[in-house]
Structure 1
Amino acid sequence: MTDTAQVQAPARTGLYIGGTERATTSVLEVRDPARPDRIVGEAASATAQDVADAVAAAKQAFPGWSSLTPQERAAQMADALAGLAENRDDDAAILSQEVGKIRLEAWVDSLVFELRWNLALALADDVDKVTVLEPAPGIPVTTTIGYQPLGVATIIVPFNWPVAILAASLPHALLAGNTVIVKPPPSAPLATTRIAQRVAEQLPPGVLNVITGPDSEMSGLIEHEDVAKVCFTGSVGGGRRIMEMASRSLTRVTLELGGNDAAVFLEDAVIDDTHLDRLFAAIYDTTGQICMNAKRVLVHRSRVDEVVAGLAARLERTVLGHGLDEGTTMGPLHSPDQKTFVESLIAEARDSGATVMEFGELPGGDLAGGNFVRPAIVVDPDPGLRVVTEEQFGPVIPILPFDTEDEAVRLANDTWAGLCGSVWTASTEAANRVGGQLVCGYVWVNDHGATRLDLRAPFGGMKQSGMGREQGLEGVRAFQDTRSIAHLDEQALAAQQH
């Protein structure tokens, strides 16, 4: 049974607009993916007018916030984290229930928010750093290249790691001088709203606003003429819709979309317990529902049996259950639709004749109706199967053998996606050679996955995995415009004329 001592009473959240919490007539019911009959809480359901009010509040706050120095903004933002750690246990309990992931992952979700926030603040001195171009032959001007904030930014986050993902862009947008509207995911808005509102309450009114509601009422967060930037993390299909809507007002976009990451095990890869533990986490964390999880494992043919046996040994210890239950190692998928999709991938692979290995026992009792799927390994599937070509976003992984390094690179790049990848080898030279040929935005060596992401480094995808970068100084620049100011140098002009 679920640890009832950790289950919070139904959570309720409102909108937060212009420094004031706002209730709504309609609400979003948030259900527990492990027990879909149970309501975790209710979130405010915004109308189009609420959205317009949030944009207006952010616009009104922009002049005052942007007029501060980056250091002044950073000081206020540092103070705004007060109390975050004190509420982490309660936030994690709510997040676990609304997303479905295990308690530890939900707890880390909030911790990563704080880590990313503080790393962004360390960039304050670089925000307004300028480059000066001295006069040159035929160019009698001194040009200063600097930056200015865009204005009102909308940040839209997904259900899987909503709090941590929010901090990949929110502190960078604020530090750059923008005001922000945060849109948590409609199926899991509670913990994100609670955390974002607590931060917003410590900032000037209107600097940070929070809107929850159905997508049908949210178009103003993207199409409104006063929204200068939209940062969206989600599916490829969602990214296309966001980009189409933003095009109507030529609003800038950063899109961090899905992946089909390849983990490439070369012939000399070290395949011991340490590396297998890393691979296992990279595949099955959050029940496989992370964009940068490994989605395909390409293994030199001579090492396939070792990888399969290592993963199988770990999957044999899988305990499917409620995320708050002691001993649970894997929770349910977030939605019934995703459960149906993942089950169809496994069934199609089995029907094709591929070797399919499934593990764990589906929960019974009050969890019998949950969105649980037994984790699976698909060995040597046809490369054209959907379990290979599509993003599974669930606990199933194809293992594909290769014979040569060139073949491995070709297979890794033969996909619509370009988010992340990894190379597993004992040779630094081979890691650099192969990693440098992978067409993706981030490459690990002898590791893979969200827990190993360098939170200081720019992150984002190539091809259909998105555009733009989050984190680091590039993440700040994504919320700025570049401006050049040229001063005529009379002395240089006189020298040129003579």
Structure 2
Amino acid sequence: MSSGVSWKLREEVTVRCSKTAVDAVVTVTLFFALGIWLVIQRYKTIRDRAVLFYWPAPPEADPDYESKYIENPSLDAHLSDHTLLPHGSARERKYITSYDPATGLHLKTFMADSARDIETKIANAAAAQEEWAFSSFADRKRVMKSLKRWLVENQDACARVSARDSGKTFLDAGLGEILTTAAKLDWLLDHGTRALRPEARYSSLLTIYKRAEVHFEPLGVVAALVSWNYPLHNSWSPIIAALFSGNAIVLKCSEHVIWSTLWFVGAIKECLRACKFNPELVQVVCCLPPEAEVLTKSSVIKHITFIGSEDVGRKVALAAAENMTPLTLELGGKDPAIILPGTDLDRYISIWMRGIFQNAGQNCVGIEKLIVHQTQYDELYDMVVRRTKELRSGPVLAPPVEGFETYADVGAMISRDRFRDLGRVLDEAERNGATIDTGGKPYVHPYFGSGSYFYPTVVGNPLHDSLLAQSELFAPIALIQSYETVEEAIELANGTKYGLGASVFGPDQTYAIQVAKKIKCGMVSVNDFGVFYLNQDLPFGGTKASGYGRFSGPEGLRALTNPKAIVSDRLPWLIQTSIPRVVDYPIPSLVQSWEFVSGMVAFFFADGYRARGRGLVKLVNAARTNVIR
């Protein structure tokens, strides 16, 4: 074999060995990288997995729970019946009694928080927030995911607790409490990070060399004062928003639902504990109205969300003004549903019934009045009356009674406190020509006479300026008004001081949307009712006397943060801001400095290339002249 052939063979063997070695290295590297990737994914899976925690239903939520039935149930029932007070109660303290408004069953009597108690809770929240402010979105999402899993797996317990304390039905609890809360948790998990991560903003030609960003920083400790109509959702919604945005929160619940709120919030605190975070991030205040100003006037509180009546909302706004605390106010409404001519009434009657009588009418975005064309008024009125007469009122959590089926379409109202006012406005409307063919008065349940029931009611064509047509009823009352023209229907819809939600129904969706745009409110559903709240990407809130500000959606989440603008150089090694001599202190020449600035304004902002060119010439000449001098 010649030396040339031998050399070629050795070269070929060497190349093949080199390729084999390279292939082996590449294979090992790929397997090593794959192993690292799998470890990371495993870690992320474990990190992001929902944490299981145990929070059992309280015994009072059991249908067979036995306790005292209060003959005349009220928040201060213990004042006349000292047996309702807890053992060892302090005479100098104030107490609040919780009871089932559907039956009058005594649940518990709680010691109300004093001013000092509230201050301590605010301080505890502030201390816990210092560390939570630096938590990662992964940490916050783990809490949200754990809460969502617990909520879904404990629907039955949540519905029973909500029904026991507010008198609502299981169906109303499922739709208004559990469904909406799960939707909010889902939105936070899917989109909350996007809403709060640093956001790049545009730069103009003048500052094109700068990078502009907005960072959304936690405020610290925020507060929420919420109403009683949805004890689960109204407590969880502001809490999870506050936690996800890096804040601590002090929740002031309604005196009517202290028992259920403490249990619902207790689940969140237990979740935080299970996830190795400080449960003191969430505080619940249970107090009477005079002590609430300790919270609303606190300089530690950096934002307040209020859900409730207009009168109380004004007081909260005045108190918050003392420290210029920003507010989100949701003050209820008189939500109209405009039914356009030619609408198929049979198609939508079930939606209208649900919109009116959901939660016994105690629903801030419930339908308060149906506005229907005069050609369909009689038909709609008869349909609503007929179906309303078939509604059954009663408790869903009650011990078995012979001959009585524990089932109800409409639950109890929260208390009897408003029965007299409802009777007064209904009587006034009837005296002035309105028709009431069913309901119109309190309902005394044959087995649970202490329940706070009001007959489902239908009122036809009350005067537009009557109290019935102008005020928020928050009761199981269907109000039906007729109109001749669509313009008149819009005037009826806009003719109250409120502007929260609304609905428009009609056979032509395009036209219905045009009408919806003319209603002065914060939210409108087309051929539906209240569906805007199931989409948690949308801001929730109203205008006029319905309040201001928004919760839910990116707007609501960002309202709980300080949006901080941060501007930096894109290429700091290449270009940064410099001060030309012509405008540097001390100013060499007032005339030349003005020529420079006016030329700069013309160059960057004048209309047309010629005007900008003249500005550039003016700018350069001013700078040259100054340099030469």
Q: Same fold (TM over 0.5)?
A: yes
**Cα deviation code 1:414-453 (max 9, x no counterpart):** 1100000110101122111100011111101112136974
2:197–2:216 CA contact under 8 A, matched in 1? yes
**Cα deviation code 1:169-224 (max 9, x no counterpart):** 32222111111112221111222221111111222222212222222222222111
2:367–2:529 CA contact under 8 A, matched in 1? yes
Change (3 A) 1:469 1:216: same
Which residue of 2 is the match for residue 53 of structure 1?
A: 120
Change (3 A) 1:157 1:10: farther
Which residue of 2 is the match for residue 19 of structure 1?
A: none
* Deviates further, 329-338 or 420-429: 329-338
1:33–1:98 CA contact under 8 A, matched in 2? yes
5+ unaligned residues in a row in structure 2: which ranges? 1-59, 69-87, 399-405, 581-599, 601-618, 621-629
Take 2:62 and 2:123, find their aligned partners in 1: how far apart are those partners?
42
2:497–2:544 CA contact under 8 A, matched in 1? yes
Take 1:408 and 1:468, find their aligned partners in 2: how far apart are those partners?
27
1:222–1:245 CA contact under 8 A, matched in 2? yes
Question: Counting strand residues as a fraction of each chain, which structure ranks higher?
Answer: 1
1:152–1:178 CA contact under 8 A, matched in 2? yes
Which residue of 2 is the match for residue 20 of structure 1?
A: none
Which residue of 1 is the match for residue 591 of structure 2?
A: none
Aligned residue-pair number: 483
- Name which of 272, 282, 295 aligns with 2:355: 282
Which residue of 1 is the match for residue 249 of structure 2?
A: 180
Higher relative contact order (CA 8 A, sep 6+): 1
- The residue type paired with residue 306 of structure 1 is E
2:223–2:252 CA contact under 8 A, matched in 1? yes
- The residue type paired with residue 320 of structure 1 is S
2:523–2:532 CA contact under 8 A, matched in 1? no
Instruction: Calculate the TM-score normalised by the size of structure 1.
Output: 0.90
Change (3 A) 1:385 1:74: same
Is 1:432 aligned with 2:489?
Answer: no
Which residue of 2 is the match for residue 491 of structure 1?
A: 575
Which residue of 1 is the match for residue 183 of structure 2?
A: 115
Take 2:534 and 2:364, find their aligned partners in 1: how far apart are those partners?
12
* Deviates further, 345-354 or 108-117: 108-117
Which residue of 2 is the match for residue 30 of structure 1?
A: 98
2:201–2:214 CA contact under 8 A, matched in 1? yes
Is 1:193 aligned with 2:262?
Answer: yes
Pairwise CA distance, 1:366:
4.1
Change (3 A) 1:192 1:71: same
- The residue type paired with residue 154 of structure 1 is A
Take 2:337 and 2:358, find their aligned partners in 1: how far apart are those partners?
15
1:8–1:93 CA contact under 8 A, matched in 2? no
Secondary structure, counterpart of 1:123 in structure 2: helix
Which residue of 2 is the match for residue 316 of structure 1?
A: 389
Taking the TM superposition and a 5 Å limit, the aligned residue runs for 1:394-413 are 394-413=475-494
Is 1:90 aligned with 2:157?
Answer: yes
1:117–1:167 CA contact under 8 A, matched in 2? no
2:389–2:438 CA contact under 8 A, matched in 1? no
Pairwise CA distance, 1:393:
0.8
- Name which of 330, 333, 341 aligns with 2:410: 330
Change (3 A) 1:190 1:106: farther
Instruction: Calculate the TM-score normalised by the size of structure 2.
Output: 0.72
2:445–2:451 CA contact under 8 A, matched in 1? no
Which residue of 2 is the match for residue 228 of structure 1?
A: 302
Which residue of 1 is the match for residue 585 of structure 2?
A: none
Pairwise CA distance, 1:70:
2.1
Which residue of 1 is the match for residue 16 of structure 2?
A: none
- The residue type paired with residue 223 of structure 2 is T
Which residue of 2 is the match for residue 18 of structure 1?
A: none
Is 1:242 aligned with 2:311?
Answer: no
- Name which of 97, 103, 108 aligns with 2:170: 103
Question: Counting helix residues as a fraction of each chain, which structure ranks higher?
Answer: 2
- Name which of 266, 271, 293 aligns with 2:340: 266
Which residue of 1 is the match for residue 424 of structure 2?
A: 344
Change (3 A) 1:86 1:24: farther
1:7–1:93 CA contact under 8 A, matched in 2? no
Pairwise CA distance, 1:267:
0.4
Change (3 A) 1:9 1:367: closer
Pairwise CA distance, 1:359:
4.2
Take 2:61 and 2:307, find their aligned partners in 1: how far apart are those partners?
33
Which residue of 1 is the match for residue 226 of structure 2?
A: 157
1:34–1:371 CA contact under 8 A, matched in 2? yes
Pairwise CA distance, 1:155:
1.4
Pairwise CA distance, 1:118:
2.6
Which residue of 1 is the match for residue 378 of structure 2?
A: 305
Take 1:470 and 1:174, find their aligned partners in 2: how far apart are those partners?
14
| Aligned-pair Cα RMSD in Å | 2.6
Take 1:433 and 1:451, find their aligned partners in 2: how far apart are those partners?
17
Pairwise CA distance, 1:86:
4.6
Take 2:550 and 2:533, find their aligned partners in 1: how far apart are those partners?
18
Taking the TM superposition and a 5 Å limit, the aligned residue runs for 1:211-226 are 211-226=285-300
- The structure with the larger Rg is 2
Take 1:262 and 1:120, find their aligned partners in 2: how far apart are those partners?
30
Identity rate, percent: 25
Is 1:171 aligned with 2:171?
Answer: no
1:296–1:397 CA contact under 8 A, matched in 2? yes
Secondary structure, counterpart of 1:440 in structure 2: coil
Take 2:141 and 2:439, find their aligned partners in 1: how far apart are those partners?
48
- The residue type paired with residue 379 of structure 1 is G
**Cα deviation code 1:54-81 (max 9, x no counterpart):** 1111111112111122232222332345
Take 1:387 and 1:406, find their aligned partners in 2: how far apart are those partners?
22
Secondary structure, counterpart of 2:555 in structure 1: helix
Secondary structure, counterpart of 1:147 in structure 2: strand
Take 2:64 and 2:226, find their aligned partners in 1: how far apart are those partners?
24
**Cα deviation code 1:280-299 (max 9, x no counterpart):** 11011111111111112111
Take 2:428 and 2:250, find their aligned partners in 1: how far apart are those partners?
42
Change (3 A) 1:266 1:81: closer
Secondary structure, counterpart of 1:6 in structure 2: coil
